[in-house]
Amino acid sequence: MAQKNVVTAIHDALHEEMAADDRIVVLGEDVGVRGGVFRITQGFMEEFGPARVIDTPLAEAGIVGVAIGMALHGLLPIAEIEFADFIHPAFDQIVSEAARIRYRSNNDFNVPLVIRAPWGGGIHGALYHSQSIEAFYGHVPGLKVVVPSTPSDAVGMLRTAIRDPDPVLFLEHKKTYRAITGDVLDEPYTVPIGVADVKREGEDLTVVAYGFMMHTCLETATRLQEDHGISVEVVDARSISPLDKQTILSSVRKTGKAMVVYEDNRTYGAGAEIVATIAEEAMFDLDGPIVRIGGPDIPAMPFATSLEHFYLEPEPDQLYRRMLDLARF
Mean pLDDT of the 89-105 span: 98
Fold category of 197-327 in CATH: Rossmann fold (3.40.50)
Peptide bond into 242 cis (omega under 30): yes
CATH topology match: 2-184 vs 197-327: yes
Torsion of CA 178, 136, 129, 17, to 10 degrees: 40
Q: What is the pLDDT of residue 271?
A: 97
Least confident stretch, 80-94, 150-164, 297-311: 297-311
Label residue 35 by pLDDT band (50, 70, 90).
very high
Q: What are phi and psi of 151, to 5 degrees?
A: -55, -45
pLDDT digits (tens, 9 = 90+) for 63-83: 999 999 999 999 999 999 999
The mean pLDDT value of the chain amounts to: 96
Mean pLDDT of the 88-102 span: 98
Catalytic site positions: 129
pLDDT digits (tens, 9 = 90+) for 116-163: 999 999 999 999 999 999 999 999 999 999 999 999 999 999 999 999
Please check whether residue 117 is in contact with residue 111, taking contact to mean a CB–CB distance below 8 angstroms. no
| Domain range 2-184, its CATH number among 1.10.10.10, 3.40.50.970, 3.10.180.10, 1.10.8.620 | 3.40.50.970
Label residue 309 by pLDDT band (50, 70, 90).
confident
Above 90 in pLDDT, residue 38?
A: yes
> What is the rounded distance in angstroms from the CA atom of residue 316 to the CA atom of residue 214?
11
Three-state DSSP at 97 gives helix
Q: For the chain, what are the domain ranges?
A: 2-184, 197-327
Above 80 in pLDDT, residue 314?
A: no
Please name every residue paired with 293 in a beta bridge, in sequence order, or none if there are none: 261
Count of H-run helices and E-run strands, the chain? 13, 14
Q: What is the pLDDT of residue 318?
A: 85
Show Cβ contacts of residue 311 under 8 Å, excluding neighbours closer than 6 positions: 121, 295, 296, 298, 301, 302
Question: Kind and range of the H or E element at 79?
Answer: strand 76-80
pLDDT digits (tens, 9 = 90+) for 161-220: 999 999 999 999 999 999 999 999 999 999 999 999 999 999 999 999 999 999 999 999
Q: What is the pLDDT of residue 133?
A: 97
How far out from the chain centre does Cα 142 lie?
A: 17
The 10 Å Cβ neighbour count of residue 83 is: 19
Q: What is the pLDDT of residue 12?
A: 98
Mean pLDDT of the 238-256 span: 98
Above 80 in pLDDT, residue 94?
A: yes
